[in-house]
Chains A and B, each alone.
Chain A
Amino acid sequence: MKRLPPTLREKKRYIAFEIMCDEPLVKDEVAREIWKQALSLLGEIQVSTLGLGVLDYNCDTSEGFLVCRNEAAWKIKAVLAFVGEVNEKKAHICVTGVSGTIKALKRKFLNKGPSIIEEKTYNKRVNLEIVRSFGECIDALPKDKELLSRLKDLNMKYIGLMKSDLEMEKSFGGN
């Protein structure tokens, strides 16, 4: 079929996002959740006017981007702020930038975060099993029963701390 002439084509916006989650996610899960949230929040009629499409998601860097119509970008941002779980796993989708072209989006907003180092070590001082680190941040598995039950309630796997917290037991409330 012949394409629409440029003057009749809808203007697009590409939205770069980063997903924070304790477990690795694949593109299908992410796309399904975004569509599900958009449909439940805005309804089928509004979603049909958004021109929404999840174009790419890199599970190694937890970054991806989607496309939507120019005027609908603010609604997509609202939808992404509503996402609290992806496939029953606690997650947060954070918009890192909006651009008019994929080239500019990749140059400005993607592949900017520190790389994740997965290495399990046990820290006796704070009674935590350190699972992974990126930059100054550490994700760890606690041994304390109360913390484990809090994590279970929140549907999460790891507690978050900074490298500097390992020096101060006060950061954990004496646990």
Chain B
Amino acid sequence: MEFIDLHAHSILSCGVDTQSRMLFNAKRLGVTLGLCDGVEGKCRTGIEISAKNKSKLKSSISNSSNFDYVVINGGDEHINRLATSDKRVDILAHPDAGRKDPGVDSFVAEQAHKNGVAIEVNLRNLVLTKGNRRVNALKNVARTLKLSRKYGFDIIVTSGAKSRLELRSGDGVFQLLKLLGFEEVEAEAAMVFVPQRILDNNFRGAL
């Protein structure tokens, strides 16, 4: 099963492995990797923006035209709304960071659908948490999926890997999504079609 993973980090941002090692391990697992390092590299690279207010968010997005895709670190309700209201944003990551709810309400869902912003399901949250936290993370995924079915916004699945040991193979992720209640078509869209659309929309020429 193919998997395009657009949210991973190398040593150049907050990870511990070099870009080449991350790409080598990803290739071994059959994964096409995009690195969110905020520096141009050996593969498709994106930038992950963490902003606390509207002006900082807008200026960071304006300065990110060099990258293949723009990822906004969500969590705060206001930032989630701002990120999904901007057509230049490609992915809203961690919408549920520091929250008990999924961080996606009907307004965010409508805006995400209207502006083509994909909402992230980060596997790192599921794999590295335990007990109540994992239950909460699983519940949030189920609720995001429910909202996606109603409002039609795209879900994108990423590993959120900060090391080579956090990368996941396409087959494993596909079965995992099936277990979480995704239909096969929905899982395939979240793993392949949505990330491919993001890369195609922002195509800046062959590497």
Interface positions of A (Cβ within 8 A of B): 20-22, 40-41, 74-75, 77-78, 80-85, 90-92, 94-95, 136-137, 147, 150-151, 154, 156, 159-162, 164-165, 171-173, 175
Which chain B residues border A154 with CB–CB below 8 Å?
16, 162-163
> Quick check: is B183 within 8 A (CB to CB) of the other chain?
no
Looking at chain A's contact residues, is the secondary structure mostly helix, strand, loop, or mixed? Answer: mixed
Which chain B residues border A74 with CB–CB below 8 Å?
175, 178
Which chain B residues border A151 with CB–CB below 8 Å?
16
Which chain B residues border A150 with CB–CB below 8 Å?
14-16, 162
Closest to A165 in B: B18
Which chain B residues border A20 with CB–CB below 8 Å?
25, 164-165
> Quick check: is B185 within 8 A (CB to CB) of the other chain?
no
Q: How far is the CA of A136 from the CA of B39 in the complex (A)?
A: 24
Min CB distance A122 to B, Å, is 18
Partner of B176, one of A81, A84, A164: A81
Partner of B172, one of A78, A147, A165: A78
Given contacts A92-B167, A95-B171, contact A84 B20 (CB under 8 A): no
> Quick check: is B57 within 8 A (CB to CB) of the other chain?
no
Interface positions of B (Cβ within 8 A of A): 11-12, 14-22, 24-25, 29, 39, 126-128, 130, 134, 162-169, 171-173, 175-176, 178-179
Min CB distance B56 to A, Å, is 23
Given contacts A78-B176, A137-B21, A173-B39, 16 further A-B contacts (CB under 8 A): A20-B25, A20-B165, A77-B175, A81-B168, A150-B162, A156-B163, A159-B18, A160-B17, A160-B18, A160-B163, A161-B18, A161-B20, A162-B20, A165-B18, A172-B18, A173-B12
Which chain A residues border B16 with CB–CB below 8 Å?
147, 150-151, 154, 156, 159-160
Which chain A residues border B179 with CB–CB below 8 Å?
41, 75, 78
Closest to B19 in A: A171
Q: B163 to A90, Cβ gap below 8 A?
A: yes
Q: How far is the CA of A137 from the CA of B23 in the complex (A)?
A: 11
Q: How far is the CA of A113 from the CA of B130 in the complex (A)?
A: 32
Closest to A162 in B: B20
Q: List 7 A-B contacts (CB under 8 A).
A: A81-B175, A91-B165, A92-B168, A147-B11, A154-B163, A156-B163, A165-B21
Which chain B residues border A90 with CB–CB below 8 Å?
163, 165
Q: How far is the CA of A147 from the CA of B13 in the complex (A)?
A: 11
Which chain A residues border B163 with CB–CB below 8 Å?
90, 154, 156, 160
Closest to B126 in A: A82
Which chain A residues border B173 with CB–CB below 8 Å?
81
Q: How far is the CA of A69 from the CA of B151 in the complex (A)?
A: 38
Min CB distance A33 to B, Å, is 12
Q: B175 to A78, Cβ gap below 8 A?
A: yes
Which chain A residues border B17 with CB–CB below 8 Å?
159-161
Q: How far is the CA of A92 from the CA of B173 in the complex (A)?
A: 13
Closest to B17 in A: A160
Q: A78 to B178, Cβ gap below 8 A?
A: yes
Q: A82 to B165, Cβ gap below 8 A?
A: no
Closest to B168 in A: A81
Q: B18 to A92, Cβ gap below 8 A?
A: no
Closest to B130 in A: A40
Residue among B24, B171, B175, B178 with max Cβ neighbours from chain A (10 Å): B175
Closest to B14 in A: A150
Partner of B165, one of A95, A137, A156, A172: A156
Q: A161 to B21, Cβ gap below 8 A?
A: yes
